[in-house]
Amino acid sequence: MPSLSKSNVPRFSVDVYHNEFLPEGGAEVNAVVTVTATGGATSGGRPLYGGGASAGVVLMVDCSGSMEYPPAKMRNAREATAAAIDTLRDGVAFAVLAGTHQAREVYPADGGLAVAGPETRAAAKQALRRLTPGGGTAIGTWLRLADRLLSGSGASIRHGILLTDGRNEHESPDELRRALDDCAGRFTCDARGVGTDWEVAELTGIASALLGSADIVADPSGLADDFRSMMAEAMGKEVAGVALRLWTPQGSEIAFVKQVAPALEDLTARRAEAGPRAGDYPTGSWGDECRDYHVCVRVRPAAVGQEMLAARVSLVLPRPDGTAEVLGQGLVRAVWTDDMAASTRISPQVTHYTGQAELAQAIQQGLEARRAGDLDGATAKLGRAVQLASASGNEDTARLLARVVDVVDAASGTVRLKQRVADADEKTLDTRSTKTVRVKK
């Protein structure tokens, strides 16, 4: 059984940033945990722990009737899928699905996955010509077929790419939710909405449940570049199933765990028990990258001068034999003090990401108020969002906000709502509201 200390997967480091000093009676410790993976992208297609292909990818292309309008939309979808296929690494297992009110395997169409190589790439691109629009939309059905194909491949890293241009109208929200619950933890999935007729909450819900990304491609002509980029990122993943394991001593408990960079994702409800006083929180697949997590621990207050280990943070990879390999570890401490300056100092990392979470909430609430006709509420919330984006250096979000409001003074959050806002601009701001910027060390 290979070890992760070898060069075939990334090396992980875990750093904890927090103010461990609490005032007398203090019962909450907040920490930002930075996980960094380096030295990956070297496995060359070798599977982890033996057996199966190293990676499997299923491309799910919306072929519902709405993809016919305008006609270029379907053509762009075929070209984007071809670009993604060209980006596949040799030896990766893959398939292409056509999604309507049912799911149909377009290539290899034999109930399994093909193995990427010059011949299979050419055959897959030839099969793309059979992608034609017609029918409804039932995304849960697409995801279930992708899951069956990926599970049967034996691939250690399983990934989906999903494209849709409309709402999930041919199955109930409960049916989609059950499909997501069944697929969660089995493969990751990036979701893209083309045009502006799809639902942001649906698309981001899919990506959130399956630990992938969600984004808009307002102009179908940009699909090829986006698909090429998504596939390249997928090909950089070297290890899957990594979990953030949090252990707390008697009298302490985890209040919440949230990924805060590169995007906001609440992992609290996804805890899986991992032994006495320990729980695992899923993080998905990793390549060369860095992510930040905000961990809040409730502790039993102690007397001034007392100190304790509030939590032990480990990054773990489960093995087939039921054990887990520890990839990195950090500690969260609590020290009670009567030094007011020490106990009231807030970690800059915690402050930064608390602000980024407020920024996302302000954008979402502001857009909701705008859609409801509450112009005063929308102005207040979006003005606060402009202020937070400016203060934190989130330039991408600031630019998106400037398409929805006229900024009078960013520092004070003084704005005016624009009279006319393009649907694509509003949808882009909404979809990307949870993207964050890293804290400046």
Contact 163, 147 (CB under 8 A): no
**Confidence at residue 1, expressed as pLDDT on a 0 to 100 scale:** 30
Report residue 407 as tokens. 């900024």
Share of residues in the chain with pLDDT > 70 (%) = 95
pLDDT at residue 4 greater than cutoff 50: no
User: What pTM does this model have?
Assistant: 0.93
Element (H or E) spanning 170, and its range?
none
**Confidence at residue 51, expressed as pLDDT on a 0 to 100 scale:** 36
CA distance 54 to 48: 7
CA distance 441 to 431: 27
CA distance 177 to 206: 9
**Confidence at residue 54, expressed as pLDDT on a 0 to 100 scale:** 85
**Confidence at residue 128, expressed as pLDDT on a 0 to 100 scale:** 96
Residue with tokens 């949808």: 427
Ramachandran assignment for 322, one of left (phi > 0), alpha (psi -120 to 50 degrees), beta (any other):
left
With bands split at pLDDT 50, 70 and 90, how would you rate the model's confidence at 42?
very low
> Across all residues in the chain, what is the average pLDDT?
93
* Ordered structural domains, the chain, with CATH: 11-43+241-344 (2.60.40.3670), 55-235 (3.40.50.410), 349-431 (1.20.120.1690)
pLDDT at residue 46 greater than cutoff 90: no
Residue pLDDT, tens place only, 126-152: 999 989 999 999 999 999 999 999 999
**Confidence at residue 50, expressed as pLDDT on a 0 to 100 scale:** 32
**Confidence at residue 318, expressed as pLDDT on a 0 to 100 scale:** 85
Query: Closest Cα partner for 292 from 310, 265, 253, 272?
Result: 265
**Confidence at residue 56, expressed as pLDDT on a 0 to 100 scale:** 97
Report residue 114 as tokens. 């093909």
**Confidence at residue 441, expressed as pLDDT on a 0 to 100 scale:** 61
DSSP 436: -
Report residue 310 as tokens. 């509030």
Report residue 156 as tokens. 């250690």
With bands split at pLDDT 50, 70 and 90, how would you rate the model's confidence at 3?
very low
What is the widest separation between alpha-carbon atoms in the chain? Answer: 72
CA distance 394 to 391: 8
CB atoms within 10 A of CB 423: 11
Report residue 334 as tokens. 């609590």
pLDDT at residue 106 greater than cutoff 80: yes
Q: In what order do the strands lie in the sheet with 28-38?
A: 11-18, 28-38, 289-298, 253-261, 265-266
Positive or negative torsion for Cα 426, 427, 431, 435: negative
Helix axes 200-209, 139-153, angle to 10 degrees: 20
DSSP 221: G
Residue pLDDT, tens place only, 179-204: 999 999 999 999 999 999 999 999 99
CA distance 222 to 356: 28
94-108 mean pLDDT: 98
Share of residues in the chain with pLDDT > 90 (%) = 90
What are the angstrom distances between the C-alpha of 96 and each of 93, 164, 211, 213?
11, 14, 21, 19
What are the angstrom distances between the C-alpha of 258 and each of 43, 70, 75, 97, 252?
30, 40, 39, 33, 18
Tell me the helices (H) and strands (E) count for the chain, helix number first.
11, 20
Strand extents, DSSP E, 71-112: 93-99, 103-107
With bands split at pLDDT 50, 70 and 90, how would you rate the model's confidence at 9?
low
Contact 154, 105 (CB under 8 A): no
250-272 mean pLDDT: 97
Residue pLDDT, tens place only, 319-328: 878 789 999 9
pLDDT at residue 47 greater than cutoff 80: no
3-state DSSP helix/strand/coil % of the chain, to nearest 5: 35, 30, 35
> H helices within 211-347, ranges in order?
223-235, 340-343
